[in-house]
Amino acid sequence: MFRYSIFLLVLVMALGPADLQAQQQEDSVSMKYMLEPVDISCGRFIYLPAADIQTFDSKFLSEHPSEQLSTLLSDYANVNIRSYGYSGLTNVSLRGAGSNHTAVLWNGFNIQDPMNGGVNFILFPLYFVDEVQVQKGGSSALFGSGAMGGVISLNNKLSFDKGINAGLYASYGSFENYKGGLSLNLSGRKAVFQIKTFAGSGKNDFPFVNTEQFGRPEMRQQNAAIKQWGFSQENAFLIGKRQKLSTHLWYVKANRELPPNMAQVSSEKSQLDESLRASAEWQYRITTGSVNVRSGLFFNKLRYSDTENDFMALHRNMQSISEAELKLQPFDRRDHLNLGLNFSYEKAQSDQYAGAPERTRTALFASYILRLIPKISLKLSARDEYVDEHFTPPVYSFGAETDFFGPFSFFAKYSTNYRIPTFNDLYWRGGMAKGNPDLSDESSWNSELGMNFAWDKKSKRVLTVHSSAFYSRFTNLIQWLPEMGIWTPVNRKEVLSRGVESRLVYNWFHRDWLFKSVVSYSWVHSTLEKKASNEPDEVLHKQLILTPEHQGNIQLKLRYKVWSFVYSQNIVGKQYVTSDHTDSLSAYTLGNIALAYEKTGGAFPWSIRFRWNNIWNTVYQTMPGYAMPLQNYELIVSIKFSSKPIKERKGKI
């Protein structure tokens, strides 16, 4: 399949060079310059180099209502996904960092789990999200603990003056996967009300050849069923000309069986996840900026059970996060100053903790964009946090951007970052393991150089190219080691991560035709530089396990009037399973096809989409021994109701 990939890449490159032009309007998966000074949810990204951020907008997401967030990130953002089977647990990793080194923002709140530092992606149905942004590289100065490898931001965006909008989608996929969702949005001049609900279930008993068992039997995946549902309710109000109040409420519940490794013949493991998130935001515009205050409450519950081995564990946690920001443009419309205060409270309960540990966190942060001359901007950020009774190391970031050279622009960034230990690191007890309350914070520094090329020929032929190279060092990383027969965490490891990321988007418009191609590639060389005392010397300076050095995506889209066809190819390089590289997972590449008929306009726009995944029947694994499905299909029907905007209906609401 690598030959196909290279062929496709060459084809795309051959189509591109004649016409180079930049555009954003049709590019729903685009690199955006975000200069909206009063956008609460993503406003802080403006203090990073703009080309650093990849955005998936609501139009793009509406074409993928039933998809999992982790699949989207893997298919379109070159994010490294580690999945324990089709319905199993999924972790993400950015730029060779650990899975708990990715901050996940929900409407601006960093909601990494205080117990394990991760985020359960199954609890973020794409149907509820209006915008996904991926920012790679350290940005703790802006987003706090954990933002060492990058940030994934999920936003809800409510618009005023859109009238009445309702939507419904239903999908049926292979292995008895049923999904559906409903939405209602009432949008007036001063108020917006939105409610969404979704439900889904799947048996996921896909066939596969178990190459790890005697006789290589053809089997069906067992213990892989999943059921989930959720609802969201959101409101926004304009109060006078200066104030905006918005609220967000999400509830998601997922019950899933955890499939066995191919080397095991059965599993009776399952996991129930439940999440409730509620937040309110108040924004007040002043002459030269705005004041933003927001507060959120987050409840998570996880119940893991293994009936085969008579084991059950219940974990619950709660976070309260409050933040106040003052955003100013003191001297010029292009200068931005942001001053902020964050106060968080976290509490957890688990059979594996003695009591219910809790902690308070207070952080001060500030950012500034300075335009020395019109085409050069400097971006500075700093943050310090007080956690219980100690200050974390102060962190900062420095970025510079210039667009002196016609279609070319360049940026540079340097940041220092940190992650505080999780409750598991500090307080775990049980299963021959014990947390260490004396742990220090992890830290890292990250440097990056990048280039953008944007070329637009009368908006008919458009090309954007983004390339960057990064170099990062992670120190004091927490590692669990055996000590007197008990596993306990210590600050020990050091990791050096460097690499190159490139992305090319080419669009060609002609009358009713659109051809669009996206090619992205990343090379991440992430190596262990300081090992634990019990590890052999052979692990030093070697690529980290389960971190592919090479990863790439190719998407080709052809649209004619209401019809569209998309072919995508994802490429994931070889991944080592053992730290001395004696064992590995093979590289793989997946081909997917999507065919859509989309009727836009009118009061009832509707669409029907057909997705054919893994068309080349690639046998692959993202975690060793966990089978993944071969060819599979999904049919998605969606219909919307859209009234005219209120301003055209004169006083009906």
Partner 1 sequence: MLLLLMFMGCNKDDENPDPAPDPELKVYYISNEGAFGYGNASVSLFYPEEQKIQNDAFKQANNRRPGDVLQSIMVKDNKAYLVVNASDKIEIAASKTLKELGVLNNIRLPRYMITTARANTAYITAWGDGGYVAVMDLVKDKITDTIRVGKGPEKMFWNGGQLLLVANSGGFKDDSTLSVIDLTTNKVQKHLVLADNPVDICADLQSIWVLCRGKVKYDGNYNIIGHTPSYLYHLSGDAKVMDSIELFADKHPMHLEVSSDQKYLYIGGGYGFSGLYRFDINFGILETNPFINKDFYGVNVDPASGLIYGFEAPTFTASGKMSIYSPDGTLKNELTTGVGPNGITFSY
Query: Which is closer to partner 1, CB of 92 or CB of 554?
Result: 554
User: How many angstroms separate the CA atoms of 450 and 428, rounded?
Assistant: 42
Residue 477 C-beta: closest distance to partner 1, Å: 15
Instruction: Work out whether 583 is an interface residue with partner 1 (CB under 8 A).
Output: yes
Instruction: Work out whether 434 is an interface residue with partner 1 (CB under 8 A).
Output: yes
SS3 72: helix
Instruction: Work out whether 430 is an interface residue with partner 1 (CB under 8 A).
Output: yes
Query: Which is closer to partner 1, CB of 6 or CB of 603?
Result: 6
Instruction: Tell which residue, 134, 142, 130, 136, has the closest CA to residue 55.
Output: 134
CB 562 within 8 A of CB 14: no
Instruction: Work out whether 489 is an interface residue with partner 1 (CB under 8 A).
Output: no
Instruction: Work out whether 10 is an interface residue with partner 1 (CB under 8 A).
Output: yes
Instruction: Work out whether 521 is an interface residue with partner 1 (CB under 8 A).
Output: yes
Q: Interface with partner 1 by CB under 8 A: which range of 158-166, 205-213, 379-387, 595-603? A: 205-213
User: How many angstroms separate the CA atoms of 84 and 628, rounded?
Assistant: 9
Residues 587-606, interacting with partner 1 (CB under 8 A): 587
Query: Which is closer to partner 1, CB of 5 or CB of 28?
Result: 5
**Binding residue for partner 1, selected from 239, 312, 500, 562, defined by CB under 8 A:** 500
Instruction: Work out whether 286 is an interface residue with partner 1 (CB under 8 A).
Output: no
User: Which residues have CB under 8 Å from 483's CB, separation 6+?
Assistant: none
Q: Is 601 left (phi over 0), alpha (psi -120 to 50) or beta?
A: left
CB 225 within 8 A of CB 241: no
Determine the straight-line distance between the first and last CA of the chain, rounded to whole angstroms: 57
For residue 68, the tally of other CB atoms under 10 A from its CB is 19
- Strand 102-106 versus strand 150-155 pairing type: parallel
**Binding residue for partner 1, selected from 274, 580, 606, 633, defined by CB under 8 A:** 580
**Binding residue for partner 1, selected from 307, 459, 586, 600, defined by CB under 8 A:** 586
**Binding residue for partner 1, selected from 207, 330, 394, 482, defined by CB under 8 A:** 482
Instruction: Work out whether 625 is an interface residue with partner 1 (CB under 8 A).
Output: yes
User: How many angstroms separate the CA atoms of 56 and 77, rounded?
Assistant: 10
For residue 258, what are the β-bridge partners?
269
Instruction: Work out whether 85 is an interface residue with partner 1 (CB under 8 A).
Output: no
239 token code pair: 């109060």
Residue 114 C-beta: closest distance to partner 1, Å: 19
Q: Interface with partner 1 by CB under 8 A: which range of 89-97, 211-219, 595-603, 644-652? A: 211-219
Nearest-10 Cα torsion for 45, 47, 49, 50: 40
Residue 460 C-beta: closest distance to partner 1, Å: 25
Instruction: Work out whether 574 is an interface residue with partner 1 (CB under 8 A).
Output: yes
User: How many angstroms separate the CA atoms of 578 and 432, rounded?
Assistant: 23
Instruction: Work out whether 6 is an interface residue with partner 1 (CB under 8 A).
Output: yes
- Alpha carbon of 503 to those of 66, 150, 462, 555: distances in Å? 26, 17, 14, 11
Instruction: Work out whether 333 is an interface residue with partner 1 (CB under 8 A).
Output: no
Query: Which is closer to partner 1, CB of 158 or CB of 546?
Result: 546
**Binding residue for partner 1, selected from 168, 532, 608, 637, defined by CB under 8 A:** 532
Residues 438-477, interacting with partner 1 (CB under 8 A): 467
Q: Interface with partner 1 by CB under 8 A: which range of 143-151, 287-295, 383-391, 529-537? A: 529-537
Residue 502 C-beta: closest distance to partner 1, Å: 5
Quote the Cα angle for 71-74-77, to 5°: 125
Query: Which is closer to partner 1, CB of 394 or CB of 482?
Result: 482
User: How many angstroms separate the CA atoms of 238 and 160, rounded?
Assistant: 9
**Binding residue for partner 1, selected from 312, 486, 603, 619, defined by CB under 8 A:** 486
Instruction: Tell which residue, 414, 368, 327, 527, has the closest CA to residue 140.
Output: 414
CB 317 within 8 A of CB 285: no
**Binding residue for partner 1, selected from 164, 224, 426, 504, defined by CB under 8 A:** 504
User: How many angstroms separate the CA atoms of 117 and 422, rounded?
Assistant: 6
Quote the Cα angle for 253-134-256, to 5°: 20
Binding track, positions 539-568, relative to partner 1; x by CB under 8 A: x-----x---xx-x----------------
- DSSP assigned state of 246: E
* Extended strands (E) in 458-599: 461-483, 486-510, 513-530, 550-560, 563-572, 575-576, 584-585, 588-599
The dihedrals phi and psi of 439, each to the nearest 5 degrees, come to -65, 150
Instruction: Work out whether 38 is an interface residue with partner 1 (CB under 8 A).
Output: no
User: Which residues have CB under 8 Å from 105's CB, separation 6+?
Assistant: 111, 143, 151, 152, 153, 154, 155
User: How many angstroms separate the CA atoms of 494 and 478, rounded?
Assistant: 9
Task: Give the interface size with partner 1 as a residue count (CB under 8 A).
Answer: 59
Q: Interface with partner 1 by CB under 8 A: which range of 163-171, 334-342, 528-536, 612-620? A: 528-536
**Binding residue for partner 1, selected from 19, 131, 268, 535, defined by CB under 8 A:** 535
Residue 543 C-beta: closest distance to partner 1, Å: 12
Query: Which is closer to partner 1, CB of 544 or CB of 646?
Result: 544
CB burial readout 426-445, b (16+ within 10 A) else e: bbbeeeeebbbeebbbbbbb
**Block residue for tokens 């510079």:** 400
Query: Which is closer to partner 1, CB of 141 or CB of 544?
Result: 544
Query: Which is closer to partner 1, CB of 278 or CB of 356?
Result: 356
Instruction: Work out whether 262 is an interface residue with partner 1 (CB under 8 A).
Output: yes
Query: Which is closer to partner 1, CB of 342 or CB of 568?
Result: 568
**Binding residue for partner 1, selected from 266, 600, 617, 631, defined by CB under 8 A:** 266
**Binding residue for partner 1, selected from 11, 265, 312, 603, defined by CB under 8 A:** 265
Binding track, positions 352-391, relative to partner 1; x by CB under 8 A: --x-------------------------------------
Residue 585 C-beta: closest distance to partner 1, Å: 10
User: At 70, which helix (H) or strand (E)?
Assistant: helix 69-77
**Binding residue for partner 1, selected from 81, 186, 254, 571, defined by CB under 8 A:** 571
Instruction: Work out whether 18 is an interface residue with partner 1 (CB under 8 A).
Output: no
Instruction: Work out whether 216 is an interface residue with partner 1 (CB under 8 A).
Output: yes
Instruction: Work out whether 176 is an interface residue with partner 1 (CB under 8 A).
Output: no
Instruction: Tell which residue, 132, 252, 130, has the closest CA to residue 192.
Output: 130
Footprint on this chain of partner 1 (rule: CB under 8 A): 2-3, 5-6, 9-10, 13, 211-216, 261-266, 354, 429-430, 433-434, 467, 482, 484-486, 500, 502, 504, 519, 521, 523, 532, 534-536, 538-539, 545, 549-550, 552, 571, 573-574, 577-580, 582-584, 586-587, 624-625
